[in-house]
Structure 1
Amino acid sequence: MMMNRFLPLLPLLLVSHLSSLVQPMPSSTAAVKLATAEAEGGTVLHRSKRGWMWNQFYLMEEYTANEYQYVGKLQSNMDRLDGTVRYVLTGEGAGTIFQIDEKTGDLHAVKKLDREEKANYTLQVKAVDTRTNRPLEPETEFIIKIHDINDNEPKFAKATYTASVPEMTAVGTPVLQVTATDADDASYGNSAKLVYSILQGQPYFSVEPDTGWIKIALPNMDREVREKYQVVIQAKDMGGQMGGLSGTTTVNITLTDVNDSPPRFASSSYHLSTLESADVGSIVGRIKAKDGDEGQNAEMEYSITEGDAKDFFSIISDKITQEGIITIKKKLDYERQRVYTIKVEVNNTKLDYRYISFGPFKDMATIKITAQDVDEPPVFSMSPYVLEVREDTARGNTIGKVTAWDPDSPHHPVRYSIDHHTNRDKLFYIDPIDGSITTLHPLDRELSKWHNISVLATEINNPQQMSRVPVLIKVLDVNDNAPEFAMYYETFVCENVKAGQIIQTISATDTDEPLVGHKFVFSLNSNNPNFTILDNEDNTARILTRRSGFNRHEVSAYYLPVVISDNGFPIQSSTSTLTIRVCGCDGSGNLRSCSVEALLLSAGLSTSALVAILLCIILLLMIVALFSALKRQRRKEPLIISKEDVRDNVVSYNDEGGGEEDTQAFDMGALRHPEVLESNKQRRDIIPEILFPYHRSSPTPECTDARDFINCRLQENDNDPSAPPYDSLATYAYEGNGSTAESLSSLGSSVTEGDHDFDYLSSWGPQFKKLADMYIGKDKA
């Protein structure tokens, strides 16, 4: 309402207030004409000094009145107000943001402006003769600047800051600087002038109004009293005045520890007891002082300073538990002394001398140790103990407690331990003082559902007095295992399969034990164009084809990832891959054949492994073929090979000599003739005659040809008791009488080597084959 009342005065105010900001413009009374005549019939151009009634304009951003915001009036001294002049506006926002009255030159802003988006606009205006449509004056440029209003609140760089400062820090110590920014114009007014203040966190912290530095405001802030603080800082514009906009941020400040707390015993005196027969070095008991500090500032060291039993005991500082362990240094004697007194001092190992005034950083306690005589073993409250623990219990958590006492004196403490034979994996630990059993390692129900350990209770006064109790620990199941295929599936799809046909039914298994039974959900991890899955909701699922027709020559096997989820908490899931081979089938869907590659791929072999296997198979086949060829070649060796391999002493000669009539060239008696009786030479394939005397049932009959000769030799071997007990093939090279080949000597041949007639071999071949078959068959019989 107030703005609307003063709108008629706005143009006058703008002209009066902003005239000093604009460069002076020439007046209309000093017009200069510049005439230029062309050679023939040229027009004359007049350039007059412009005489605009205008100024540099300012507008307010975020103008919310109903009327358009009036900018100012633009008028040329050439305008006689007779409607012959038209004003044309160009430049940034012309026609969209700014509009000009073509007749009067009045300029308005038709849209709400935001200085943060654009701070000023540069426009051009010219006066045009409406009759000739030619400009009366050159185009003139002017600027419209947007006045800023406070429409942006301050914003911090972070919504939450974290900082730390040592405890006992002096007042005024800087902790953290927070800064905020304001999008308003910092050069105009106080819209962007920020002032910081603290809304939460007094009287512990303060903030500097101009810089945003957070400082300590309270002396001797103690971490042991309070460790964490939350401070809320506000940034307000307009210099913090009323009506300004503000923004806030949160700063979480933590006090870090310094060694300002001395160790203190909970009591000035302690009472322990031990058996007089305890061995040197055995533990009597443990004491522990309290220190409010943490980390290295809480490390303590124990020592025995005085007492009548200083020579009987020693103390060890446990760096992990920060306890003082009292051990026996010298043998005790119950009959001489029953009560021993020592004084133990505790000190911090690391001192900060800046805080020594909080000291002294040590404490003293008196410890009385009573020597006990022998007594009965401890008694447990029950037997056996049954404990239950979840398998996801973290290491170090207490899962149960056993209790035992000395029947001779209920006030005598007992010490607990676990029999290491029942705790070989060191899964459990028992507190020797209170009998609390904790886990040393995470448990796995799938590996072992029960753990049976034996806990020993030993009297501190007499370690030989002990009792044993079984502790049965049941591991409760949690859902920490994902389901998987119940078996390995050998799945195939026929090439002529139709869409929607079931090719496999799968099921899953899970090693966990849910309370209400397993419930598996089957799905595919992505949309598969070839196959789909249908969950039967009975822990099984069906694999179906999505299309018809497969070609094993194009793709021999498909891999289908199946996601299986259970119903436990939290839900466990896994992805198992189903290998589907493409095979040829008959019209009824019966499997005929699959490619070798698909068969091997179904076994999980890679392509390189398949190539290697095929090469090995080919090489093996080549070796077998070569071996068979060599074996056949060996079977076709000539009748006479060497002197050492001839069973019946057939002698071969390479001396042609003088032919068959030359009896001086070699010993004719060495030839194997049927009429010659067998000599006493031993055969190589039978046992020597020393063990089995050589016997001949009858003399060799007359054998005039090869058939008779072989029959004679066969009969001879059948009746020979010294013949070997296995089949043996004997070969003979005796020609017999009346050979059709006549002499085989090359000396008696009148034809060349290539003209020999070998018909005698073909004529004798069938007879030798028949005789050899008869011989082998009879020998085997």
Structure 2
Amino acid sequence: MITNHFLGLLMLSILQPINALPVAPGNTVNLLGTSQEKDDGRILQRSKRGWMWNQFFLLEEYTGNDNQYVGKLHSNMDRGDGNVKYILTGEGVGSLFLIDENSGDIHATKRLDREERAIYTLHATVVDKRTNETLEADTEFNIKIHDINDNEPKFSKDLYFASVPEMSDVGTSVIQVTATDADDQTYGNSAKLVYSILQGQPYFSVDSDNGTIRTALPNMDRETKENYQVVIQAKDMAGQMGGLSGTTTVSITLSDENDSPPRFANRKRPSLFSSLLIFLGAAIGRIKANDADVGRNAEMQYSIVDRDGQDMFTIISDQNTQEGVIRVKKQLDYEKQRTYSFKVEVTNTYLDPRFMYSPNPPFKDDAMVRVTIEDVDEPPVFSRNPYIIEVHEDTAAGSFVGVVSARDPDADNNSVKYSIDRHTDLERLFNIDSVNGTITTLKGLDREMSKWHNISVVATEISNPRQTTRVPVFIKVLDVNDNAPEFAMYYETFVCENVQSGQLIQTISAVDTDEPLVGHKFVFSISSSNPNFTIVDNEDNTARILTRRAGFSRREMNTYLLPVVISDNDYPIQSSTSTLTVNVCACDSRGNMQSCNTEALLSAGLSTGALVAILLCVIILLMIVVLFAALRRQQRKKEPLIISKEDVRDNVVSYNDEGGGEEDTQAFDIGTLRNPEVMDANKLRRDIIPEMLFPFQRTSPIKDNADGNCYTLNSCCLIAKSYCFIFIFLYLFY
């Protein structure tokens, strides 16, 4: 039995033992015994072997036309009567693997690739066809794909880059290249690789087992040949015939070593230099040595080895061009010495230890240098460059500022005159004495306008005006306390009408254009006793404005002017008075400003009674206008009493009484005589304005919180009455 539930499951044909030959197809394997029974009934004895009873082996890349036979499943419960059914489940069953349910034969339907998958796990079950009863429980077994050599070795890169120092010893490791083979590493020689070199001999070699490339020739010189192309091959099947192979290229560069010394081109013939510029630090020439090395190995350092040359000259190395720059170390005197000769030595900055102790070290060289001094007319030289002079800002015009001095360095020592370049002094603030170089002021200086004045002073040889020298003169104007402090900004300050005593309404600060040495210290105060406001100095160049009383009224005063005195602490003390404008505003209960406009106060302060009075005045005016218009229309509709002149003559009445003159004319209306119907309606005299038509009534003051309500009401009533009298007067005398 294979397991407790699966008896006699046999794996034939391809089933193989470990380290044993395959079982002959005609044999039946009894996995529970040590004997085998042949077809003729003889008992065959065999030695004990380690059989892989639960594993099939199948070669990959099958090329036949039919399905590939894998193996056979057989159970002792199978009596050969066709009642046993073999069921196969697991990976690839139905598509990749098929089983004959009657015989238990397993076939593969497709060509298998071990590199894609090496092992398939399947399950076998035996059931009775009639009753569908399980005769053998589920048992797991594997189908392992045997490898064939179908993959060539491959390197991780097609091109490798490596470097090795020049002059390296034979066998120095350069780089290791490794190839991989997708074939089975544990089966046969399909993945056993051997490395060989196809190109690059005799300079390099490769280790056949691990692919390590090493140097094969001694003393390889970079200056002779720097780059090498090496081709490496990896072959499987242990390098035997028929194996597959892959190649890669390795680009090897010899890195530089300091094995080449610097050399002067003409070391026996001295280098000649002529110098016209003899001021200190001037470069008079360059000297160059050659080095076949590169990078840091080609960096050189120059030095003067002769005592005479060391005293008068110095040489530095230009890191960009690797040249030696010769400079003047001391002042040269044409009259004392006109020629200097000295030796210059060059060495590599980074020395190779392999050559340091050799008898003839190759890392240095020397050459002779000759310098010839020529006499030239040089421009004047100032004693300092630049000049920095300090002067106080309260210095009066014509005051002394400083002195500049220049001389002619030539042997003739010609006289020098001084002048100021007016392009650098456009405001003409300074003057200079042309003989002694004394600088004075032409105008007063103000530090607040300019802290520095940068001018150029020109020194010119009197005998040769073309020889000139300029020097910058920086004049610093020192501060004097001549400015008073003032408000740092414009303050828009307001105070609420409902403010309490001692409440903060503004914090002020000050600025001063002066710059005292110990810093600003301002003192704040109010010029006179103020009943409304007070000031508290915070002693940090700020102050607080506080109220001295509670309650302000815009009707009484809507703006207060508060003079604040600000003083500094420098000498002499400067002070100024700045006025702070404080507006009285209406605020809410939290102190937020709502309105500061007095016109808004008048419109917003009217009570209900005042508005009713104004409305009544408007209604009365409208009534007067309507009445006036009605009377005009009625008068136009009345017919005249006398139609023609004849009627007038017929109705003349003579009286013997004397007339009253103008009084009678005014007392009797001729129009009334013509139209008797009007006599009763107009019995009053027109020359007298009746006072009782619109009697004047005094209004009692209205009790209201707003003080302007009564005033507004009385004013409106007075205006309305005035308009009424005017309209009545116009009507009566129309």
TM-score clears 0.5:
no
Question: What is the TM-score of this pair, normalised by structure 1?
Answer: 0.41
Larger radius of gyration: 2
Question: What is the TM-score of this pair, normalised by structure 2?
Answer: 0.43
